[in-house]
Structure 1
Amino acid sequence: MTEVGHRLARMTRQVQAEARVPALSVALHRADRPLWTLTVGDTGNDTPLGPPTRFRIGSVTKTLTAVLVLQARDEGLLDLDDPIGAHLDLPAHRELTVRRLLSHTAGLQREPYGDVWDTLRAPGVDQLLGELDRAERVLPPGRRYHYSNLGFALLGQAVARLRGGSWGEVLADRVLNPLGLTATAPVPGPEAATGFLVDTYSDHAHAEPATDFGGVGPAAQLWSTAPDMARWAAFLADPAAVDPAGAVLRPGTLDEMRWPLTVTDETLWSGGFGLGLILVPRPDPETGAPQRVMHVGHDGAMPGFLAAVYGRRGGPGTPGAMGAAVLASSGTASAILELPHLLLDAAVADDPAEIVAWTPGEPAPERYREMLGRWWGEGYEYVFSWHDGVLQARGAGAPVSRPPSVFTPLPDQPDVLRTVSGREAGELLRLTRDERGAVVRMHWATYRFTRTQETFDGFDFRAIDQAG
């Protein structure tokens, strides 16, 4: 084991011991290193504990259901602003949109009708849908974040209806099999750990009852292994590396899913939700200041089990396809929920990705070559450049870590470009040329850009020097 591996192992063992977890399975996935795994403890049954051991992953299931929904959107089967009633025959709440349900801003009550966590009897699909008129909309849509298992159950059942199969069948066909997640399934299988509640005031651990979430399965039903979930986390963070052919989802769609739509706390903006994904910005380990590093994934809890599955994006030293999974056979060891974040931080700090050498590339196309350099807009200076085969722009004083705006020309209109990412994404950049064909002015999101600093009514400060 490497020195880094020893540190990760010690961190894991410390959490297992201090949080008193009967069985803990951890995996770290990254494109530039072999898969790292560690298991500590005992399954609580006759099967040995190891990387193939399955644990319940609870609400991590939601991330897979969310990918199914976005797949259907990309294929034109639904729109995110469709009311859920357009895809399911429902007696109530038909007006709640797919987007609101994905981001937990629909205002729907947390659980299906009835005391599910008291009886441990979840409704089947027909009962779930048929009794929706007995469930409350506890907040107006869009008011604020309000977590809802019921909302994700509806989303999963809608996709199942659109695809003509059960949710589990559709998930296996559309996500699990293409990504090689062969140990992930709605059932425990023969190598599953037993879930426990550990007594707060003694060392006794009592097995929790087995549960099947039935029609609510798309919210929390799955079982999996740490290696499978570390790969899944890597996919959520870097789909182009894990799924280069885009067989499951286009990288641009994952970008959309990772965009924050709501925060989970109105005053402490330490976490947010995108489309089915939890977003956790990571502070600088030395100063505590914000940095451009985001962990994306989800936590999960079911009777006797906790799980935390996150991929890492951004920041110096972060390798491609980096993800961590921590699966535990304790329903109350909340310390394990922070462990994947600590493991990802430590792995990058102690073993950063290699620095890739710069190599020369092709020159900018002649049409754009003379427009490169410094321009002024709204009183601020920007630098337009050609890198990696595309036109880019960034503020003259922007830190290197901030992604630039990237442009692509419209078909048959090379002097009109669309901003495809970064600042002003979606807006147009229009080039104005003089009679010689030189670019003398640009308009980006309708704001005028000139080679010298000008006021909004066209006063050029350079003219003062020329007049003097």
Structure 2
Amino acid sequence: MTTPQEELLPATRRALLHRIAVAQAEGRTPSLVAAVVRGGRTVWHGARTSVDGHGPDENVQYRIGSITKTFTAVLVLRLRDEGLLDLGDPLEKHLPGTGAGAATIAELLAHSGGLAAESPAPWWERTPGSLRPELADVLGKQPLLHPVGRRHHYSNPGYTLLGALVEKLRGAPWEDVLQREVLEPLGLTRTSGLPRAPHAGGWAVHPWADVMLAEPAEDLGRMAPAGQLWSTTGDLARFAVFLARGNDTVLSAETVREMRAPAAAAEATDVLTGAAYGLGLQIQRWDGRLLVGHSGSLPGFLATLTISVEDDVAAVVLTNCTSGPLTARVGADLVRIVAEAEPRIPEPWRPLPEADACVLELAGQWYWGTNAFALRLTIDGGVSLEPLSGNGRRSRFRANPDGTWTGIEGYYAGELLQAVRRPDGAVSHLDLGSFVFTRQPYDEGAPVPGGVDPEGWRGVG
């Protein structure tokens, strides 16, 4: 049962409805459905106009296009977490003979493998997948357009290769693996490769007249891992919760956090807009807010899934027209409306259940050279290190069994933090990736690299 704190205020609900009503009317689309997630559950669903004469609800399927890529990325990350591959492995190690095997699995996930954006003609989204039965038909005679690993270049064939990789290592069709390993565990019962009633039909709307043309709904065959899926606002809302929090039956919170981190060098134009790409997830700043998720389009359909982890708000927007509303903008606006009208209420402060005395004595002020930092214990058993002023390097660290910590974000991601002790057990200094942090600036009692001037601190007369 929804508690008063979980319900959206009437004014917020009206603002959300107004936003999708404007998007449907100005975008001239047959129907548009949306959902908002907060606190791990759907708190609002809205729809405009109808599908088969009925207002679409959260169970009506729409085609979601490239949001399919995020599902494929989840399957690949599961293989990595099970030790069946490494993201640094070249594709050739596991799937030989493609002609694109020099690209690593991470580069394919992040669209930096140098592959072409599209499959060779004819237009693959409007033609049967049977025209491209083999990987060679998907890749063409010149799979690579750019040096491997040098730039982000969005590639549908790249995700076809990742789907083939999943099939090779699992010994089963991509869609069967997806059903068994992701859809069933997450309870996504209305997500499928082929449409299941009730579902929307795809339409092209004439740019200069209020008339429509039905779009074909092709089975993409080999290209399925790049854009095949049909889903609903209800299922994608549940998927958004998973991408924000993880689910140990599918992927851990740490792995989905890895998916959300930038993994490809941005193009110059993307730098200006704050856009980047992670491992199967798009990353962008809208109105100063960091959003992750994915957009999708196929003839007759547009879709977006948008998550603000910091605000604990996500939005799903689905519509059935080839071109019309900018769904990414609508999704960002739905997140903004909720985040600004009803800011996230922080969890209440609570003391740690227990504190290791050896860790507690490390809390407080430290200096790297003359830069002051604060080390704090975090509720999850780790520590954080951040500058006391300015915009210096900051990071959170997870605890290791041996009493050290490993950075999980920022400049120090993956770097080792350890307390170095003297023979009597007293703390000498902190070592962070070879940087020495001391209790006093250039503490003469600590092994500061380069030594400390024996004349000490002094004025100049």
TM-score calculated relative to the size of structure 1: 0.87
Q: 1:371 aligns with which of 353, 356, 362?
A: 362
> Matches of 2:142 and 2:177 in 1, distance apart?
27
Aligned to 1:290: none
Alignment of 1:277 onto 2:273: no
Q: 2:452 aligns with which of 451, 455, 459?
A: 459
Higher mean C-alpha deviation, range 83-92 or range 202-211: 83-92
Aligned to 1:348: 339
Alignment of 1:228 onto 2:235: yes
In structure 2, relative to structure 1, the CA distance for the partners of 1:5 and 1:106 (3 Å cut) is: same
Deviation at 1:50, TM superposition (A): 2.3
Higher mean C-alpha deviation, range 247-256 or range 447-456: 447-456
Alpha-carbon displacement from aligned partner over 1:341-396 (angstroms, at most 9, x marks no partner): 11001111111222322122245312233332111113211112223133332111
* C-alpha contact 2:203 2:320 (8 A) present in aligned 1: yes
Higher mean C-alpha deviation, range 160-169 or range 299-308: 160-169
> Matches of 1:118 and 1:227 in 2, distance apart?
25
Deviation at 1:61, TM superposition (A): 0.4
Alignment of 1:77 onto 2:84: yes
Alignment of 1:298 onto 2:294: yes
Higher mean C-alpha deviation, range 107-116 or range 178-187: 107-116
Q: 2:46 aligns with which of 38, 48, 67?
A: 38
Q: 1:432 aligns with which of 420, 425, 437?
A: 420
Aligned to 1:444: 432
Aligned to 2:382: 390
Aligned to 1:408: 399
DSSP 3-state at the match of 2:259: helix
Deviation at 1:41, TM superposition (A): 1.4
DSSP 3-state at the match of 2:152: coil
* C-alpha contact 2:191 2:230 (8 A) present in aligned 1: yes
Deviation at 1:313, TM superposition (A): 1.5
Residues 92-171 of structure 1 correspond to what in structure 2 (within 5 A)? 92-117=99-124, 120-123=127-130, 126-129=133-136, 132=139, 134-171=141-178
Alpha-carbon displacement from aligned partner over 1:235-277 (angstroms, at most 9, x marks no partner): 21222xxx3xx11101111121111122553144221111111
Aligned to 2:6: none
Residues 188-207 of structure 1 correspond to what in structure 2 (within 5 A)? 188-207=195-214
Deviation at 1:134, TM superposition (A): 2.3
Query: Which amino acid in structure 2 is aligned with residue 275 of structure 1?
Result: L
* C-alpha contact 1:90 1:132 (8 A) present in aligned 2: no
Give the CA RMSD over aligned residues: 2.7
* C-alpha contact 2:133 2:221 (8 A) present in aligned 1: no
> Matches of 1:18 and 1:231 in 2, distance apart?
29
Deviation at 1:47, TM superposition (A): 6.0
In structure 2, relative to structure 1, the CA distance for the partners of 1:363 and 1:463 (3 Å cut) is: farther
* C-alpha contact 1:62 1:220 (8 A) present in aligned 2: yes
Higher mean C-alpha deviation, range 151-160 or range 77-86: 77-86
Query: Which amino acid in structure 2 is aligned with residue 92 of structure 1?
Result: G
> Matches of 1:159 and 1:138 in 2, distance apart?
24
Aligned to 2:21: 13
* C-alpha contact 1:382 1:396 (8 A) present in aligned 2: yes
Q: How many residues are aligned here? A: 444
In structure 2, relative to structure 1, the CA distance for the partners of 1:152 and 1:91 (3 Å cut) is: closer
DSSP 3-state at the match of 1:296: strand
Q: 1:23 aligns with which of 20, 31, 44?
A: 31
In structure 2, relative to structure 1, the CA distance for the partners of 1:418 and 1:353 (3 Å cut) is: closer
Query: Which amino acid in structure 1 is aligned with residue 258 of structure 2?
Result: E
Deviation at 1:33, TM superposition (A): 6.2
Higher mean C-alpha deviation, range 431-440 or range 104-113: 431-440
Alpha-carbon displacement from aligned partner over 1:75-115 (angstroms, at most 9, x marks no partner): 11222122223333535222222111111111111222331
* C-alpha contact 1:157 1:167 (8 A) present in aligned 2: yes
> Matches of 2:391 and 2:348 in 1, distance apart?
20
DSSP 3-state at the match of 1:105: coil
DSSP 3-state at the match of 1:371: coil
Alignment of 1:61 onto 2:72: no
Higher mean C-alpha deviation, range 125-134 or range 223-232: 125-134
Q: 2:315 aligns with which of 324, 347, 353?
A: 324
* C-alpha contact 1:408 1:420 (8 A) present in aligned 2: no
Query: Which amino acid in structure 1 is aligned with residue 383 of structure 2?
Result: L
Aligned to 1:288: none
Q: 2:328 aligns with which of 337, 347, 358?
A: 337
In structure 2, relative to structure 1, the CA distance for the partners of 1:25 and 1:131 (3 Å cut) is: closer
* C-alpha contact 1:452 1:460 (8 A) present in aligned 2: no
Deviation at 1:398, TM superposition (A): 5.9
Deviation at 1:133, TM superposition (A): 5.5
Query: Which amino acid in structure 2 is aligned with residue 294 of structure 1?
Result: L
* C-alpha contact 1:32 1:353 (8 A) present in aligned 2: no
Higher mean C-alpha deviation, range 80-89 or range 138-147: 80-89
Deviation at 1:311, TM superposition (A): 1.4
In structure 2, relative to structure 1, the CA distance for the partners of 1:250 and 1:33 (3 Å cut) is: closer
> Matches of 1:32 and 1:94 in 2, distance apart?
39
**Structure 2: gaps (5+ residues):** 1-8, 443-447
* C-alpha contact 1:230 1:310 (8 A) present in aligned 2: no
In structure 2, relative to structure 1, the CA distance for the partners of 1:465 and 1:265 (3 Å cut) is: closer
Residues 176-195 of structure 1 correspond to what in structure 2 (within 5 A)? 176-195=183-202
Query: Which amino acid in structure 2 is aligned with residue 343 of structure 1?
Result: L
TM-score calculated relative to the size of structure 2: 0.89
Deviation at 1:144, TM superposition (A): 1.1
Higher mean C-alpha deviation, range 247-256 or range 93-102: 93-102
Aligned to 2:3: none
> Matches of 1:124 and 1:161 in 2, distance apart?
21
